[in-house]
A and B are shown apart, each in its own frame.
Chain A
Amino acid sequence: NAGVTQTPKFQVLKTGQSMTLQCAQDMNHEYMSWYRQDPGMGLRLIHYSVGAGITDQGEVPNGYNVSRSTTEDFPLRLLSAAPSQTSVYFCASSQRMQGEDQYFGPGTRLLVL
């Protein structure tokens, strides 16, 4: 099992550019989520999905889109990057949403200039 994988590891964008952060898991987990980590603020939930075809917003969804066409993949899209989106992004998965310890990917460090 590869667990949760994320690509790329590091990305530099210019303001206004778009990009997709990839996340995949091979554990057949139903629940997947995206967090961003900023200094002094812990991790904040951006979007989550309880299964293929179902997504919902978390605490800080503005500026991000997601889709879940398969159980394995949960990409995060930035349509028009802003400097405020400079952060480290973590994808996570678990068998269920509630009460399950989540498996985190290695993170993607994004710098928006």
Chain B
Amino acid sequence: AQKVTQAQTEISVVEKEDVTLDCVYETRDTTYYLFWYKQPPSGELVFLIRRNSFDEQNEISGRYSWNFQKSTSSFNFTITASQVVDSAVYFCALSELYNNNDMRFGAGTRLTVKP
């Protein structure tokens, strides 16, 4: 079965620091999708990005960037010049094309950005 590991339980940084959240996944499928979600203190889940297994290009969106490396089964998320509003729990998730169990989430990384 697919598995997602977010080894960093909690990270604390000072505003304007760069921070990278790690995500390592396991899957037997050749076609799969990787996701990042943000859960701010208010509790809702906010979709950030989806990548499919055939697209290893790194992606940048403003201060956010994602590094997808199939060779190491990793899909890491970097926030540049962090801000207090980035404080949240971040979840990495994996969905296999042919697995009816849908998404498997990592345990999440709680990011605290201090002013």
Contact = CB atoms under 8 A, between A and B. Distances in A.
A42 B44 contact: no
Nearest to B32: A99
B43 A107 contact: yes
A90 B45 contact: yes
Nearest to A56: B100
Interface residues of A, number: 25
Contacts, number: 58
A68 B26 CA distance: 31
A102 B35 CA distance: 10
A101 B50 contact: yes
Contact of A33 (B9, B35, B52, B102): B102
B103 interface: yes
Q: How large is the interface on B (under 10, 10 to 19, 20 to 34, 35 or more residues)?
A: 20 to 34
A98 B9 contact: no
Interface in A20-67: 33, 35, 40-45, 48, 56, 58-59
B50 A99 contact: yes
B105 to A, nearest CB: 4
A104 B4 CA distance: 20
Which of A88, A101, A104 has the most C-beta atoms of chain B within 10 angstroms of its own C-beta? A101
B107 A97 contact: no
Interface in A88-108: 88, 90, 92, 97-104, 106-107
B101 A58 contact: yes
Contacts of A100: 50
A31 B91 CA distance: 21
Interface string B50-73: 101000000000000000000000
Contacts of A107: 43-44
Given A42-B91, A90-B45, A99 B102 contact: no
A100 B101 CA distance: 14
Contacts of B102: 33, 45, 48, 58, 97-98
A100 B47 CA distance: 11
A70 to B, nearest CB: 21
A56 B96 CA distance: 16
Contacts of B91: 42-43
